[in-house]
Structure 1
Amino acid sequence: MAVVFVTGATGFIGKEVTKRLARDGHTVLALIRSLDKWNELLMQMTLAERSNCTAVRGDLRQAGLGLSTSDYEQVLRANVMIHAGVPMDISMDESVGREVILQGASHLIAVANELHEQKRLQKLIHIVGYMSPFDDESGKLATDVFSQNDLFREAGGYEKYKFLADLYLRQEAHQKGLPLVVVNPSTIIGPRSTGNTEQTDGLGLVISSMRRGKFPVLPGGKEWWLPLLAVDDLAEVIVGIVEAKQIEHQTYYALNERSTTPSFSELISLMAKELRMKPPAIPFPVSVLKKILHNGGSRLLGVPANSMDFIVKKDFPLAPFQQMKARKGIGDYQAVAYLPSVIANLDYRLSVKDQKVPLHIHREQIAGMAAYKKEGAGTPWLLLHGLFSEMSDLLPLAAQLGGYAVWLLDLPGFGRSPYHHHDKPIEGIIEAVADALREMPSPVHVVGHSFGGYLALEAAKRVPEKVEKLYLLQPPLHAPKYSPLLAGVGNNAAILQRFLQKGASPARLEKTLLAQGVFQSMEEMPIGYAEKVGKLLQSPRISKTHTDVLRYFMNDFQQMALEQPLPFPAQVVWGTQDKTYQLTKEAEAAFTKANVGIKRLSAAHHFPISHPQLTGNVLQQMRNGKA
């Protein structure tokens, strides 16, 4: 097994590489600056994997990598080095790029040279990018990368110094016989399992422009494409290079084949579909678009000028990459099948930034929907959120559900889950929840809040064998009474969506939420809740989905349908301070006939969010037959 020194171990690429190295039994020495990020990464591993990982505090910008004497001695145990320690920021200032990227490479190569002199270094793996113009012969060039030169004058600081660092390491390898391997990945997107894409500078730049209505043209020509690669596929190939007995190639172009990747015009149309927007209709040559951006048009489209440089016509020499994929058992990546989750995730990230999630919560995917999972024992809980909400809002409730496993779903078109594209909007959401139940390995305790309660009931009736017990928290029993303003704009779908996108300011949302009895007071409302809802509704995808649901309840919904009896035990928890819905005698009688118990709380509509501890206690009592 190798001892691998990794820079950028907590970055988007680096942490996936670190996890897979540790999983395969290699020893990882990680250069880190943030202990918090390192601890977050460790929490994603098993105990055995963690035992293979050690962090050393340092900084690429400093000589000796800023390491203490003892940490430097640890690094000199390594026989493989992986340099992935450059943050992706295509708008990076040139002075920052020179210090972090190029000077950082010089500090790293000093360590590599020392390992090489000790005859320990088996491989130095440098992660660069598919747009680098350098190849296996470039190490012979005499260019002084540290002096003033005319190379890459049109490029930004990030791209320029990534390329110069590539040339520099190739020169050093050529002169001193270093065992260098360069990996040139394309635009990196989230893993196949979730699509969770942390870097918003790549594909996210185009999505950001589109959702703000600043991308009105459809770039023409099927010959233009944006090469893509899933981060887990890249990590597997890098681990394969680490494990290879000898260096077979110096340069690996890491990207999916053109045949499995949509053209750029097809990609734009797919983005529009997933964002629930009309696709751009004005055809426009990509070459002209690039020139416009480099001549002051970047503000017009809302993307940096060099962001379009990653769209190419050419093909790449993929044989080394494909050989390593085959060796690692990596199948073809049909991008169109995975991109909906990637686009939804990036759309969410562009709305809500810097959201902290407890370290013991893991990202998953169920039936194509984004999910969180809290590990635990016993029959799991499955939590479904309501309108003006997403799965993160129920994390405090999940923490109150004891030692049981808990699943939280983002409903289709909400949060990080892609829309279902069913002809009937509500039917599509119900069937998606039913599919999630079908994928559960065993029956679960299903908890639905508000609109999620309606979905939970309807989906549970389709898959009763997967429902241990059903809990409806403030379900919509009848057609709601909306405020005059919301009822008025709700007559027209386009006007309602525009109102949600443009008119849902935090102050207006807070006022409406209090007036409707969603919360009893401002003190009950989680800090930043209204601001987050407002930002999410700026997404065309999320505001359009809310529009569909609101109009359904305004125009088509009458009351919840209860079968007699339900084929599984069920309970209702009702907040008596709700001003939108009423638990009438008729509704209560229907529940009684269906053998559904009712528990009343002196709380408002959003009590699972405002009172997670109280709600968790009640749910556990019901689960144990004590309420």
Structure 2
Amino acid sequence: MSATDRHALVFGATGLIGRHLVLALGQAGVRVSTANRSRQSHQRLVRWLADHGHHQAPADLRVDFTQPEPLSGRAADWADVTEIHNCAGAYRFGMSGADARRANVDSARAVVALAARLPRLRRVVHVSGYRVGGQDPALVPWSDEHRRRTYAELGAYEASKAEADAVFQAAADQAGLPWTIVNPASVIGDSATGESDQQLGLAASLRDLWRGALPALPGDERTFVPVVAVDHLARFMAVLPLDEATERAAYWVLDDATPALPELLTLVARHYQVRVPRLRVPVSLVRRLPQWVTRTDPETLTFLSADRYPTGPATAVATRHGLAMPDTTTTVLRWADHLAAYRFGEVPAGRRRFTAPADVRTFELGAADAPTVVLPGPPGNADTWAPVAGALGQARVVDLPGLGLSRGRRADWPAWSTALVTETGARHLVGHGGAAALAVRAALAHPDLVDQLTLVSPFAPGTRVGRAARWTPLVRWRLARVSAEALARQLTGDPALAETVASSAADLRRGRVAATAARLVADAGGRRWRHQLWAGLQRYPGRVHVIVGADDPLGPAERQLLETLPRATVTAIAGAGHHPHLTHPAEVAAAIGGAPVDTPHPPRGASPAPAYRR
């Protein structure tokens, strides 16, 4: 059967597995229809597919499993369907048994009933699970006692998936349908990008690692929580209807080489450069501890097992179709980076990534390779500049080494800032506060490459910061404990802006971020730092644009300095203070974007004093 003869109907197409499956089918030239609960969910899927390079939208069919006829619309829209992929269901813990059965068991039964009415159907593919696959369909319907015991032992989610596995086989056999079951392991991110929006299960452990909230490593060298990259799983599912040998078979899709759970978590912790928990707790003890100690949903504990799974048949299918399992270690680390970059689901969208100028793992957001690069001054981070970057369009914001989400340390700054210019194409450096001097130094190192410097509130720290604020231990102690409300009050005077700086407050509690920020704040308040900034500006031959808040104006000495620079411009943001990007992001973006950056450098002395704009 060629791709042009195939018409795939996908249930659960907007979920993690479903949308990657639609992408894989579409890339293979298969005609795809998706069963969606609403027009809005279909539109979200279409946008996601377009963002991933696939612009042929699947047909939108409406589904409602609570109705006797779950698929609405014209029969002609789905009468020629040749294959159904059932990725529908609910993956969450804490459901009641009734809710879990409606979401997972009843939906599987409804999909089979619909499939039985399709005259051209050649295969139904059902997604089950690696811990629940292989159920005996002869036991269907389950007795009340068997159901009660299973749901009590496994929890509602896993038990409903086990029951659905059995119900699907029994119903499909009764209807005479050709079926295949896929039992995936813990599905993690795309093998190339790490992309995933799934925050349950293993992802929650990575989140705790990142935040320093994982007190111990669960399990031992035999504790096996296998994983599979979502794109590999999708490609595997897409070839099943082509292979007659896969009819009435179940396949465990996972990597047998997945490290044991403590080893996997240690690998990620070292990649994150966070503390590796020294304590290891046996699974038997974890299961006896109260939930307030483990901070783990009891339903997840059944996944902590030494069991192994029959992966040989899936490996044979993959080999027949030229599908190679992606390297698991690489995929896990890319997935870990994606989770951290999107703050474990707190930031659901946007252009966010980790890069490595000078081999320093660096977080940045905004347009990749944009020539305008913002360097946030502490205690801020890249996220506090996201509205400015969004308004600018062709701009990116990078966290300095050791600050925000970037790793590294202050000793990396010289090589890192040089690489930012020479390796990533930064041509317009925007430095805020304490980062202004770093921007100046980077521009001076390559004045032929950096066309413009924009310095946002670069002088005030040197003239306004008191002696207490320059004592590093005290500043570090305060920053490591500051709440979002207190930080907003400190930076803007308005605690209502707490949400704007919440990510900064969270970052300051992680690792040595507060210590690095405190050191930079202290340095920026000293005379030496200020004199280096001034001397650097006098030597830089390009354009200099200084942006300040009108409520935090330049002092006489700063005005006098700028008047000596032939190509300096000053913009004052009305109503703003030392952090105008927090209170007036649109005005700051307009000021940054309003200055040209592509004209050649005129000789010194070609322009008089700086121009002032308000």
Q: Secondary structure at the match of 1:45?
A: helix
Question: How far, CA to CA, are the matches of 1:609 and 1:246 in structure 2?
Answer: 60
Structure-2 residue corresponding to 1:509:
487
Q: How does 1:295-306 map to 2 (within 5 A)?
A: 297-306=290-299
Equivalent-residue separation in structure 1 for 2:167 and 2:110 (angstroms) = 12
Match of 2:63 among 58, 66, 79: 58
Question: Where does residue 621 of structure 1 map in the other structure?
Answer: 594
Q: Is the 8 A contact 1:129 1:186 kept in 2?
A: yes
CA–CA separation in structure 2 for the residues paired with 1:51 and 1:73: 20
CA distance 1:331–1:340, change in 2 (3 Å): closer
Tell me what 2:281 maps to.
284
Partner residue in 1 for 2:355: 366
Segment drifting more, 265-274 vs 455-464: 455-464
**Matched residue, 2:123:** 123
Q: Cα distance 1:529–1:146, how it changes in 2: closer, same or farther (>3 A)? A: farther
1:125 deviation in Å? 1.7
Query: What is the rounded CA distance, in whole Å, between the counterparts of 2:463 and 2:126 in structure 1?
Result: 59
CA shift, 1:8, in A, is: 1.7
Determine if the alignment matches structure 1 residue 387 to structure 2 residue 387: no
Q: Using a 3 Å threshold, how does the CA distance of structure 1 residues 501 and 211 change in structure 2: closer, same or farther? A: farther
Letter of the 1:473 counterpart: V
CA distance in 1, matches of 2:315, 2:463: 57
Work out whether residues 383 and 409 of structure 1, in 8 Å CA contact, stay in contact via their aligned partners in 2: yes
Shift of 1:90: 2.3
Distance 1:530 1:298, change over 3 A: same
Question: Corresponding residue for 2:107?
Answer: 104
> 1:474 aligned to 2:478?
no
Mapped partners of 1:465, 1:166: distance in 2: 65
- Shift of the 114–270 alpha-carbon distance from structure 1 to 2, 3 Å rule, reads same
Structure having the higher Rg: 2
Which residue does 1:316 correspond to in 2? Answer: 309
CA distances 1:113-166 after superposition (whole Å, capped 9, x unpaired):
112xx1x2222221222111416xx34x23314855233431111111111111
2:521 is matched with which residue?
553
- Paired with 2:132 and 2:143, the residues of 1 have a C-alpha distance of 17
Q: 2:35·2:62 contact (CA, 8 Å) conserved in 1?
A: yes
- The answer (yes or no) to whether the contact 1:8–1:84 under 8 Å persists in 2 is yes
Equivalent residue for 2:387? 396
2:181 is equivalent to residue 182 of structure 1: yes
> Counterpart of 1:125 in structure 2: which amino acid?
V
In 2 relative to 1, CA 406–96 (structure 1 residues): closer, same or farther, beyond 3 Å?
same
> What pairs with 1:514-553 in structure 2 (closer than 5 Å)?
514-515=492-493, 522=494, 529-531=497-499, 533-534=501-502, 537-538=505-506, 542=510, 544-553=512-521
Question: Counterpart in 2 of 1:3?
Answer: 7
Cα deviations across residues 240-293 of structure 1 (Å, max 9, x unaligned)? 3355576378222222232xx33222233345546665333233322332x314
Task: For residue 181 of structure 2, give the secondary structure of its aligned residue in structure 1.
Answer: strand
Give the alignment partner of residue 426 of structure 1, picking from 381, 405, 410: 410
From 606, 609, 612, the equivalent of 2:585 is: 612
Q: Which of 457, 464, 473 is matched with 1:491 structurally?
A: 473
Secondary structure of the residue aligned to 1:124 is strand
Deviation at 1:596, TM superposition (A): 6.0
What is the alpha-carbon distance in structure 2 between the residues aligned to residue 592 and residue 320 of structure 1? 76
Rounded to whole Å, the distance in 2 between the matches of 1:413 and 1:11 is: 35
Question: Any idea what SS the aligned residue of 1:622 has?
Answer: coil
Aligned to 2:45, what secondary structure does the other structure show? helix
Query: How do 1:37-48 and structure 2 match up within 5 A?
Result: 37-46=41-50
Q: Which runs of 5+ in 2 are unaligned?
A: 600-610
Indicate yes or no: 2:91 matched with 1:79: no
Aligned 8 A contact 2:434 2:521 in 1? no
**Change over 3 Å in CA distance of 1:348–1:381 after alignment to 2:** closer
**How far is the alpha carbon of 1:303 from its aligned partner?**
0.7
1:20 and 2:11 correspond: no
Partners of 1:102 and 1:162 within 8 A in 2: yes
Shift of 1:548: 1.7
Q: Which amino acid aligns with 1:575?
A: V
User: Any idea what SS the aligned residue of 1:151 has?
Assistant: helix
Equivalent pair of 1:9/1:30 in contact (CA under 8 Å):
yes
Equivalent AA in structure 1 for residue 456 of structure 2: L
Tell me if the contact between 1:473 and 1:573 (Cα under 8 Å) persists in the aligned partners. yes
Q: What residue is the counterpart of 1:241 in the other structure?
A: 240
Q: 1:110 Cα shift?
A: 0.8
Change (3 A) 1:564 1:93: same
Q: Residues 601 and 206 from structure 1, CA distance in 2 versus in 1: closer, same or farther, beyond 3 angstroms? A: same
Displacement of 1:307 = 1.5
Secondary structure of 1:82's counterpart equals: strand
1:575 Cα deviation after fit: 0.4
1:10 alignment partner, SS class:
coil
Contact map agreement 2:440 2:536 (CA 8 A) in 1: no
Change (3 A) 1:203 1:464: farther
Q: After TM superposition, give the deviation of residue 405 of structure 1 in Å.
A: 4.0
Partner SS, residue 509 of structure 1: helix
Q: Deviation at 1:101?
A: 1.0
> Would you say the 8 A contact 1:480–1:553 is kept in 2?
no
Contact 1:5 1:30 (8 Å CA) reproduced? yes
Kindly provide the amino acid, as one letter, of the partner of residue 42 in structure 1: V
SS in 1 for 2:280: strand
Alignment of 1:330-369 (within 5 A): 330=324, 332-335=326-329, 337-340=330-333, 342-343=335-336, 345-346=338-339, 353=346, 355=347, 357=349, 361-367=350-356, 369=362
How far residue 611 of structure 1 moved from its aligned partner, in angstroms, is 2.8
Asked if the contact 1:145/1:168 (under 8 Å) is kept, the reply is: no
Gaps (5+ residues) in structure 1? Answer: 516-521
For these two proteins, the number of residue pairs brought into alignment is: 581
Provide the C-alpha distance between the structure 2 equivalents of 1:262 and 1:177, rounded to a whole number of angstroms. 41
How far apart are the structure 2 equivalents of 1:236 and 1:433? 41
How far is 1:582 from its partner? 5.8
- 2:391 counterpart SS class: coil
The 8 Å contact of residues 229 and 255 in structure 1, kept in 2 or not, is answered as: yes
CA separation in 2, counterparts of 1:142 and 1:606?
A: 66
> Which residue number corresponds to residue 518 of structure 1?
none
Provide closer, same or farther for how the CA distance between residues 470 and 539 of structure 1 changes in structure 2, counting only shifts above 3 A: closer
**Aligned residues of 1:253 and 1:321 also touching (Cα < 8 A):** yes
Query: Which residue of the partner structure matches residue 605 of structure 2?
Result: none
Q: Specify whether residues 15 and 74 from structure 1 end up closer, same or farther in structure 2 by C-alpha distance, changes over 3 A only.
A: same
TM-score relative to the length of structure 2: 0.80
Inter-partner Cα distance in structure 2 for 1:55 and 1:221: 47
Q: For the residues of structure 2 that align with 1:351 and 1:284, how far apart are their CA atoms? A: 25
Q: Secondary structure at the match of 2:84?
A: strand
**Cα deviation, residue 432, structure 1:** 5.3
Cα-to-partner distance string for 1:465-509 (whole Å, 9 max, x where unaligned): 765544333346865755777656x4168xx35x44544151x22
Match of 2:602 in 1: none
Superposed displacement of residue 96, structure 1: 0.9
TM-superposed CA distance for 1:20, in Å, is: 3.0
CA distance in 1 between partners of 2:256 and 2:153 (Å): 28
